[in-house]
Amino acid sequence: MSGLLVVTAVPAEAEAIRAGLTDATVTVTPVGVGPAIAGAATARLLALAEAAGRPYRAVVSAGVAGGFTGRVEVGDAVLGTASVAADLGAESPDGFIPIDELGMPPTLLGVGSALPADPGLLATLRAALPAAPTGPVLTVSTVTGTTTSTDELRRRHPEAVAEAMEGYGVAVAAAQAGLPFAELRTISNPIGPRDRDAWRLREALTALTAAAPALR
């Protein structure tokens, strides 16, 4: 049996995590940006490992993210209590309708648009990162970039701490394989009006390296 599979979106995130790891049983793999490619690539990695007789024990989606001001700070490591498909649903004159309320379950597993982190895996990560804020991490296909959309997300997800683009897809792949899942993010920018000059990617990647030992 293999150890932990850590999935990132881009190589820079994977390199930052590897820089802080000493555990050879942890596999860190960049798979691409967005929930569709992340879910498909993770499912393939899990299937190949199982076919080779070396199945993984658990899956973590990791990388940088935007954070909700007032809940987290730039440079924080955060742990997702759930990965939420925040823009999966329908628009209506009365506002956004989540997929759960449309009578269309988003996966054949019958799970909804929010997949909780595995309690045991989350507890292990929290013990290693006791200062890390916790809460739902939103998965979006379009990065939030206006005050209006930020306020709408806050209203719909009052406990959310961050948004990224892969967690829900990776979580679905892990659930299909029957494996524990968790999400670890470090904050590079506040969610709100798009301002690339305000992003602190270097600080977030450094924080990812510092958090990597929790993945042992």
| Residues 129-169 pLDDT 10s | 999 999 999 999 888 888 988 988 898 889 999 999 999 99
d(CA 56, CA 179): 8
Tokens encoding 9: 């979106």
The answer, yes or no, to whether residue 22 has pLDDT greater than 50, is yes
HSE, side-chain direction, 13 A CA sphere, residue 154: 14
Nearest Cα residue to 64 out of 216, 213, 202? 202
Which residue is listed with tokens 């850590």?
6
Residue-range domain boundaries for the chain:
4-215
At residue 86, the pLDDT reads 84
| Percent of the chain predicted with pLDDT > 70 | 88
CATH number for the region 4-215 comes to 3.40.50.1580
- What are the phi and psi torsion angles at 105 (to 5°)? -60, 130
When pLDDT is averaged across residues 170-192 and rounded to a whole number, the result is 95
At residue 144, the pLDDT reads 86
The answer, yes or no, to whether residue 90 has pLDDT greater than 70, is no
Q: What is the CA radius of gyration of the chain?
A: 16
- What are the phi and psi torsion angles at 34 (to 5°)? 110, 155
At residue 156, the pLDDT reads 86
Which residue is listed with tokens 């006791």?
130
Confidence of residue 1 (pLDDT cuts 50, 70, 90): very low
The answer, yes or no, to whether residue 106 has pLDDT greater than 60, is no
